Amino acid sequence: MDDEGAEFLERQGASDRDFLALDCISATFGITAAWLGHDPSVLGDHWGYHRRTDDVDSEWPVEQIGIQRRKPEEILSEWYGLTADHIHHADSRRAEEYIRDQLSDGNPVIAWVDTFHVPHSSFHGQQHHSHRIVIHPGDGDGGEKAGALRIVDRYQGSLFDGFMESGTLFTAMSSDALGEARRGDPDWRNRTVVVKAGRLASGKARKEACEERRQERFRSVVAENAHSFAGADLVTACADELRATPDAFASLSPVGTIEVSAWFGELASQRALNARFLRAAAETCALPLLHDRAADAEALSRRWEMTRNYFFLRFRKGSVAVGRIADLITETVTLEAEWNARLRESIAEQNGASRDPVTGLQPPPTAGTALCRKPR
């Protein structure tokens, strides 16, 4: 990479040490994006809900509702031109050879592990659980230290930056439990992802083009999400179904418990990422009101995490707990709709639009309406 290009990437202030996430998928891709010099806040560039189209058995209605989470690979490709190499290795020996080669080339490697075998995990020796970590290149030593490899885990539930014995790592990667993951998931044993930089233009022209594309991308993404907040009615319908027949949902299998908990957890994580994204948009587009909307998104993240915790602690109380969970879902979705309405108003207010006399809301931007002012 040329010096000017490196300066531009450094100026974005991206740092894997600054990036945390409430889910391990976002955490690993955020770390690798930052390692390549890119701002990982773009992983929060979408919000909303949709009905799942894959045929997966479910026990609670929320399991049939997805959240609008695009694959991190797609996001990083669109924003930064990054590519992701997914490989399912035949066995742990070949996985190890591949990982060491990548580390020698300076590439971080995302790997699936079973937390039962991961010393820094709270599940160590107690529970089998699929998790993702980043195996980090070292400072000229391929990431190795006396037979160990450097592991970076920026998932907030298991923060860790240190070394793991290679034998322990590859045992965790090849655990049979990874072949029995969440419903509809593939066999996660001996799987890796390596994210790499695409072909970049050089010099001042590339710098200016990247900055312009970044501003335009923020403008379009904020507008699209703010004016097409999707699927809130789907989630409300799920809550209504739980509330109408709570006895029917008063028990869950171990797999069902994991699925429902994961649903709440993914929402909490995505709203936290949305907050980070809105702060980046506020700075990039000189829209200070978006900082307030970012604070709203963080509050929503905390509410979804609170609901998840309530589910864990009180679900065994039966139908009464199911009814309360349904109420919490409805309350939070209502707050999300209000958040999105305030987001629309904030955008329009910054751009001097007038309120609609009927709805009381700011009208959506028409074609050609600028959502952001370039920084002066």
Whole-number pLDDT of residue 213: 75
- What's the token pair of residue 54? 């894959």
| Whether 161 contacts 149, CB under 8 Å | no
List own/partner pairs for 171-174 with CB under 8 A and 24 or more apart: 171/92, 171/117, 172/113, 172/114, 172/115, 172/116, 172/117, 172/118, 173/92, 173/95, 173/111, 173/112, 173/113, 173/114, 174/91, 174/92, 174/95
| Whether 10 contacts 253, CB under 8 Å | no
Taking CA atoms, 46 is separated from 60, 222, 275, 327, in Å, by 25, 8, 11, 25
Whole-number pLDDT of residue 138: 74
Those residues whose C-beta lies under 8 Å from the C-beta of residue 329, and which sit 6 or more positions away, are: 62, 235, 236, 238, 239, 242, 307
Whole-number pLDDT of residue 48: 87
Interaxial angle between packed helices 203-226 and 3-11, expressed in degrees from 0 to 180 and rounded to the nearest 10: 30
Whole-number pLDDT of residue 209: 55
* pTM assigned to the model: 0.84
| Whether 202 contacts 210, CB under 8 Å | no
Q: Give residue 199's identity as a one-letter amino acid code.
A: R
* pLDDT of the chain, 376 residues: tens digit per residue: 333 333 333 334 445 667 899 999 999 999 999 999 899 999 999 998 888 887 778 899 999 898 888 899 999 998 989 999 999 999 999 999 999 999 999 999 999 999 999 999 999 999 998 999 999 997 544 556 667 999 999 998 788 999 999 999 999 999 999 987 666 678 999 999 999 986 554 444 455 556 677 778 887 888 888 777 788 999 999 999 999 999 999 999 988 998 999 999 999 999 999 999 999 999 998 889 999 999 999 999 999 999 999 999 999 899 999 999 999 999 999 999 999 999 988 888 876 644 443 334 444 444 333 333 333 3
pLDDT in tens, 275-287: 999 999 999 988 8
Q: How far apart are CA 231 and CA 112, in angstroms?
A: 31
Whole-number pLDDT of residue 298: 97
Whole-number pLDDT of residue 9: 35
Q: How far apart are CA 325 and CA 103, in angstroms?
A: 45
Strands (E), 79-185: 83-88, 109-114, 130-136, 144-145, 148-153, 160-165
- What's the token pair of residue 59? 């026990």
Q: How far apart are CA 304 and CA 221, in angstroms?
A: 23
